[in-house]
Amino acid sequence: MKNTGFTMVIVGRENVGKSSLFNKLINQQKAIVDDWPGVTRDKLYGECDWEGHTMNVVDTGGILFEESDVIKSLIVKQIKPVLKAADLVLFVTDVQAGIIPDDSRILDFIKKCTDKYVLVVNKVDNDKLQQDAYEFYNMGVDKIFPVSVTHSIGLDDILDYAVTLIPEETEDVSKADETTKIALIGKENVGKSSLFNALVEEERSIVTDIPGTTRDTVDTKIEINGQSFLLLDTAGIKKRNRIKAKVEQFSIGRAFMNIQKANIVIHIVDAIEGIQEIDKKILGYAFENFKGMIIAVNKWDLVSPEKREALRKEYDDYLKQNINFINFVPIVFISALKEMGIEKLIDTIFLVQNQYNFRVKTSVLNKVFREAIYDRNPSSKSGQLKAYYMTQVRTAPPTFVVFVNKKERLHFSYLRYLENRLRSSFGFEGAPIKLKIKQRENEQNT
């Protein structure tokens, strides 16, 4: 199945079913679906497979032209270039609401950007509503698709039409590469979207000083020094007792899902507020899932130059004393808004990626292991314990197996000792180490 490069963009006012249509087309629940107006705020990207073709699908925030609403104004600004670049715009309306002034304004807006559009009349759930849908021709459109997204009625007609617009000779633009996935995580309003934009070098995510602006995840492929990365921008995470809307619960769940999906997480902290309890929980979650980790202390430009050195030391000391289980994680001090320290952060991304995928030669590994055993022989209160050798069984994360005579006799503190020896010998900066114990086969009790 090849990607044709053909792109469909879904637009319309709020709460007409755009996100539901997006999810049905890409056959997965990626966009947030909720009855609350204004749920989808950023552009979401996915792929749709139909009749041997793979097409790109873009979901956009609901269009509202009220100038007093900062977020809606930003959405309109962002949609323009997307519409101009689209191969087909799916303008979604609601048959049950009928033709309303906002729909006419949106259609005029689309016409100024492109002539490649069709009208999708949603919520056509019965024969009467089917007849009502044809009234939308009065808007002056050439092609209408009456559909019921909820019941998957009429969606194949849209896709059949889209396929006819794909040029017969298209190049396969898909790349069979193993792209490193990077998730930007942290609590609300610490600058995740600003950092996302600085790395992407394009204003893809909405950036305002309103907490909770990013409610969904925006995936973007970027290329740095010839290497591809998939960047995941996630919703801000807050304490559960502060979550009032179920849409926010969904977003937070999505953020944790993307921690699981990522190879590397960049945890962003506000330089002025410092590391808080919620940060520890987020970092702990990433650690428990064995993700490559970087801490980015953002808004560093707000710290006076004469205080920066002392504050750097405070962060280092705090990490060692209060979150010592991740004392291997590098800290980078940045200002995403001013693009200060971004090059250092990029260098650190490459470093952690390398360490996360690093494999130690078996001969070198066992030399270090023998030295560790010699310096501190494992002991057990329940009987003699023998540690034979160690082998690395995988990377990403670096995973090692220690072979012993009786695995229940090896105390977890000795595993921590072995991990520290591995780090002192090979680095593994920013990379969690997974250690497993295996009992050598046919080993007799000793």
pLDDT value, residue 355: 97
Looking at residue 140, its amino acid is G
Residue with tokens 């997204």: 149
Domain range spanning residue 402? 362-439
CATH number at residue 390: 3.30.300.20
- Please report which helix (H) or strand (E) contains residue 438, including its range: strand 434-439
pLDDT value, residue 287: 93
pLDDT value, residue 210: 58
pLDDT mean values, one per 10 residues, the chain (446 residues):
76 89 80 50 72 84 61 66 89 94 91 94 91 92 94 93 80 54 90 90 62 62 86 67 49 68 94 90 90 96 94 88 89 95 96 96 93 84 75 93 82 89 96 90 53
pLDDT value, residue 84: 86
In a domain, 312, yes or no: yes
pLDDT value, residue 201: 79
Spatial separation of the C-alpha atoms in residues 284 and 207, rounded to whole Å: 27
Examine the domain organization and report whether 344 and 397 are in the same domain: no
pLDDT value, residue 145: 96
pLDDT value, residue 173: 41
pLDDT value, residue 254: 60
CATH number at residue 64: 3.40.50.300
Examine the domain organization and report whether 384 and 322 are in the same domain: no
pLDDT value, residue 407: 76
β partners of residue 223: 228
Contact indicator for 18, 60 with CB cutoff of 8 Å: yes
Examine the domain organization and report whether 213 and 84 are in the same domain: no
pLDDT value, residue 256: 75
Give 369's contacts (C-beta < 8 A, 6+ positions apart). Answer: 387, 389, 390, 402, 418, 421
Three-state secondary structure call for residue 379: coil
Strand order, beta sheet including 88-94? 44-50, 53-59, 2-11, 88-94, 117-122, 144-146
Give 381's contacts (C-beta < 8 A, 6+ positions apart). Answer: none
Number of domains in the chain: 3
